[in-house]
Amino acid sequence: MSASLQEIAKRVNWYTDPERLLADVDLFLSQVMARGSTKDVIAVQQRYSHDALRKAYLCAPRGLFTRRAWAYWGLMLLGNPNHPMPERFPAANRFDWRKAT
């Protein structure tokens, strides 16, 4: 692996071994899109195809992206900034604490 990809992997996911993260391309790319700097994103875009980035975006883990980053990448990769974001706690939006008591 390229040393620069390993450095990027360390920056975007400091709690996982870089080689292990780079082995999971979809997770690595989604973490770069969600947490990477502009330089990180440019370096990744030079090495991975638009289709690989799109696949990683569509397979992103719940709770990784902010709404703003999700909308940006939806626009860039799908042409749709309103693509539904994966929800971390899907039932939380329907929960009414006043009815729970």
Buried b vs exposed e over 78-100: b needs ≥16 C-beta within 10 Å?
A: eeeeeeebeeeeeeeeeeeeeee
Domain that residue 74 falls in: 3-100
As for how many domains the chain has, the answer is 1
Mean pLDDT of 9-25: 94
* Amino acid sitting at position 57: Y
Asked if residue 19 has pLDDT above 80, the reply is yes
pLDDT tens-digit profile of 21-62? 999 999 999 999 999 999 999 999 999 999 999 999 999 999
Enter the pTM of the model. 0.83
Per-residue pLDDT, 94: 67
Per-residue pLDDT, 75: 97
Dihedral Cα 75, 78, 79, 85, nearest 10 deg: -50
Per-residue pLDDT, 87: 79
In sequence order, the 6+-apart residues with CB closer than 8 A to the CB of 52 are: 25, 29
Distance (Å, whole) CA 46 – CA 57: 17
